[in-house]
Structure 1
Amino acid sequence: MAFPLSLDEPAQVLITGASRGIGAALVQQLLALPEVAGVHAVARNWPQTDATDERLCRYAVDLTDPAQLAEMAQQLQQQTERLHLVINCAGFLHQPDGQQPEKSLQQIELAALEHSFRINAFAPILLAQALLPLLRGKHRSSFASLSARVGSMGDNHLGGWYAYRASKAAQNMLLRTFAIEWHRLNRNGCCLLLHPGTTDTGLSKPFQARVPEGKLFTPDYVAERLLAVIAEHGPEDSGQFYAWDGQPVPW
């Protein structure tokens, strides 16, 4: 596997949600590529273990805190002039002993809506805002964020899951709007919304019983597919929504 973008310089990459699941798999796959000079891995918390690769730099950041994002961006600018690939893998669906996806209108709670929106919608656009100095210019760059097919209005035939659906739909609009502005600041930039499919992680664990055979993917497989989708799309596709298999997802 080659790095998904064609560059004339070593690649600098940032991955959020990087301590587990798809994010952790992306970190490992990108570190395996000789074209990658640095992987900036972001998570809310990190285990007390040492990084095993000198190209890996870890950041403990709450993506919903603008002050922490600004501090991270300042540290990044001291290490590199630009970012070539950003993939946001942070997201929220449920808490084991707390918030669960709503099955009916009566289960909606304001606090649950606010929590979902903070992580699924607000964090990605705040991340883009903080990283903009490293994304603007003339260099080839891709900014991808994990959305979800259930956030598609055109694909919503079952209802339910109000907070998760709406927060992912809000992320789609925020990042599509960012894509339009970013194009004026870097015509070689590409912003993508990506549906990873149902992945065998803690986020999907309680909901895997109804997943059709062959449609529950490993984090390693999903990471590989997401990088392939990013590789297939350039600036002319910026602001679009694609699934893990490269097929467009309706808004």
Structure 2
Amino acid sequence: MTPGSKASAVIIGASGGIGGALEATLMEEGAFAVVHGFARSRSDAQHIDLRDQSSIAKAAAHVASGPAPTLVIVATGLLHEGDRGPEKALRDLDPDWLAQIYAINAIGPALVAKHFLPIMPKAGRTVFAALSARVGSISDNRLGGWHGYRAAKAALNMLVRTLAIEERRRNDRAIVVSLHPGTVDTQLSRPFQANVPAGRLFDAERAALQLLDVIEGLKAPDSGKLFDFQGEEIAF
């Protein structure tokens, strides 16, 4: 990454496997003046909760007091929690769980965009990226199941497309994208790793490097799209 020494980077979800690896990699590379890491489990200036818009606004105000961010990555996601997991059939649908899945996977990233896109530069290349998933592609859905997670990630992809159109009017070099990191060895994927083909389960450090390589190769016409960890576009 070569953003210049006066820019900052922001990682939302820095306490997670991928988010933590992204934060550590960016700090090690030293290309940014400041690397801000936010997470619900962190305190004070590093605290953010995607279900609490006031905490998102506070985090954005903290970042805005220093070098402008040219890179913002939302590395959060919710697939299972406690005894709750992805639905296998229609009978498993539960409104409270659906609301929670949407809150973290779609609404939260949209609120991050609401508060962070306006503090990104109005000129020059900027990247706002949110971690999505291949299962959020409607055209690629051949297995069914995982109703809430699929739908929430599909909603995220649509929000990213819409945000990209609006952000292009503010900065014609801005890039707003969804990224599919592949299956990464994190708490999110752990209960579902048994069926992952050999060589397709990535450690968090590798995933972070792959995602940053994809981000570095993005150009303005890529804004509004979904890309996998190899830089290949995934159709919505």
Give the superposed CA RMSD: 1.4
Matched, 1:61 2:61: no
Partner of 2:202: 217
The sequence identity of aligned pairs, in percent, is 42
Within a 5 Å distance, the mapping from 1:95-114 to structure 2 comes to 95=81, 97-114=82-99
Considering fraction of residues, name the structure with more helix. 2
| Contact map agreement 2:72 2:127 (CA 8 A) in 1 | yes
Matched, 1:70 2:57: yes
TM-score (norm 2): 0.96
**Inter-partner Cα distance in structure 1 for 2:234 and 2:161:** 14
Deviation sequence 1:92-148 (CA, Å, 0-9, x none): 0001x2311100000000011100000000011100001122124113210011000
Alignment partner of 1:230: what SS? helix
Task: From 69, 74, 90, give the equivalent of 1:88.
Answer: 74
Partner of 2:26: 30
Structure 2: segments with no counterpart, 5+ residues: none
Deviation sequence 1:24-69 (CA, Å, 0-9, x none): 001111011132210110100138xxxxxxxxx9611102211111
AA aligned to 1:70 is A
Alignment partner of 1:144: what SS? strand
Partner of 2:169: 184
Task: From 32, 39, 46, give the equivalent of 1:43.
Answer: 39
Alignment partner of 2:108: what SS? helix
Query: Alignment length, in residue pairs?
Result: 236
Alignment partner of 1:121: what SS? helix
| Contact map agreement 1:89 1:145 (CA 8 A) in 2 | yes
Within a 5 Å distance, the mapping from 1:67-216 to structure 2 comes to 67-80=54-67, 82-95=68-81, 97-216=82-201
**Inter-partner Cα distance in structure 2 for 1:32 and 1:145:** 22
**Inter-partner Cα distance in structure 1 for 2:157 and 2:75:** 14
TM-score (norm 1): 0.90
**Inter-partner Cα distance in structure 2 for 1:215 and 1:243:** 13
**Inter-partner Cα distance in structure 2 for 1:134 and 1:113:** 31
**Inter-partner Cα distance in structure 2 for 1:34 and 1:121:** 31
User: How far 1:87 sits from its partner (Å)?
Assistant: 0.7
